[in-house]
Structure 1
Amino acid sequence: MRNGRTGLARDVAAGGRLVDTLNVSSKLKVAVLIAGILTAHVFVCAQQQDPAWRPAIQTAARIAPQARIVVVRISDGHQVASRHLEEAARTLAAPGSTLKPIVLYQMLTAGMWSADQRVPCSGDLEIGGRRLACSHPSARPFNAQEALAWSCNTYFAQAARAVVPSKLPQMLQTPGLLAQTGLTSGEATAEFRAPRTTEEAQLTVLGVDGIRVTPLELAAAYRWLARELEANAGSVAARTVRGGLAKTATFGIAKGATALGASVMGKTGTAEGADSPQTHGWFVGLTPALTPEFVVVVYLPVGHGADAAAVAGEVLAHAPVERK
């Protein structure tokens, strides 16, 4: 890589001398050519995958051939490993409950909601004619951390009532959820319909309607979340979200992610396709759990969030990261 950069620098320098001898039109052409070379060079360098992750990706290929997987380093945002990256860049799907930690963190930070607020859940929920029953065990009314750990739809539907619908677009744009990431070429961009009513805002917060994102966009959003949790570690918002993500991966809906000893906190998501009742599954994790270095996204075109968490657990069992 060092020799490649040196050679490129010589080429650019030579090109710069050549420009001086050309007319204006030719200068522009040479400038465009040089810019293209630089862009391509940077893109190739940024997308080189870490060989240490190869056994983990090979495991994923064996146990879940259709899984789209993206691993992003939190410190610099570079992709270090992937499976079906091109498909992941073009896949747009409802994010399901993976939105809950992102929205909850911002609500708590902005004072829209209290982490101590408890909401009872009967297990039944219907919004706008859509049944969104909870699958968690019956329990006393949840607070925010418990609701995140068990992914309680009833709790987050109630919390979403505190969000002014017109504020929700900015809450999703801030973590980079609605924009291309630059992790690869040919990326699709999130499809988002700004909510006009409380019911529409609830369905968006639950990640089942009004929004479709790519696995790459979710990776970027959770990288933002990881950096926020680190920068504001002592805040109620950070402690609540971190605790919820750790508990759901330990004994909650996402426990498959830690079943083989991986040190990870994260969130599952399950939602139906735009034109089909068939469900797809997500898991987005931060690993290692105590001091996250990577975001791991697993998307299954067919399945549930618990299935995606189990795939993530297999992958992380062979990954170059700290274990429990």
Structure 2
Amino acid sequence: MIGERNITKITQFILLGFSDFPRITVPLFVMFLMIYTLAVTWNFSLIALIRLDSHLHTPMYFFLSNLSIIDICYITSTAPKMLSNFFQENQTISFVGCIVQYFILSTMGLTESCLMTAMAYDRYAAICNPLLYSSVMSPTLCAQMVMGSYTAGLTGSVSQICALLQLYFCGPNVIRHFFCDISQLLNLSCSDAFFVQVLLAILTMCFGIANALATMLSYGFIVLSILKITSAKGRSKAFNTCASHLTAVSLFYSTAIFVYLRSSSGGSSSFDRFASVFYTVVIPMLNPLIYSLRNKEIKDAMKRLQKKKICS
């Protein structure tokens, strides 16, 4: 009987990571270390810049600073462990460590999905109702939307962890990934994981499909409003205000869908792992760049900060 099995038998898992490529271990380590360092540095710098410059104390940059916080937590949940395992003979992670890692990863991923929707609504209010923008996007509403995103992400993640803890792990303990991927954990479970799979499908619909549709709807209204603008300069300015967010959203959902479909099919190839790297490591590094490179307000804030340093 499965209930009679010793559920404490599996106390740790083996993360295979990128052990399939022993010849390029050092280049991979250097590359991922650089990506992680840049991601943390750029996101912290963006948070500090928004904090220090009063011109950036607006709803858009309030959401952006929270996105940077999420990205730092998101990449830190996987990258340090992945980097430490490169030169270890026993690439293991404890059962508790595995659960904690997935909890943080899941919480940040679900929260980011909700925050992306909040940011899309902010762009909708700015472009479609510019005269009422200040009253619509009040500080109270912005704080509620951010807190709602964190609460929703935490609730969805806790429900997954509670369901995972009901499973028995008494057989193989090899995870063919560089982090504790839930699809891999379900494959290793000795008990029926049907309930967890149903829960994951529900959460995918609530957080993935619903948020993606809400974001698409917001941008549908935005496009209609932009097309009504008569001057080419006005249309260009309106488009530039939401181009960065649209780029970030497209990257986030396209890679998330691809990784989800591959993991649902039980994929654990080297290609799947590199695809997951883009989703969990590269995107948190790219987000601050996406929002900064073509953003005049960010560039002006950096110039003002440099002038203050020179004057001081």
Larger RCO (CA within 8 A; separation ≥ 6): 2
Higher helix share: 2
TM-score, length-scaled by structure 1: 0.28
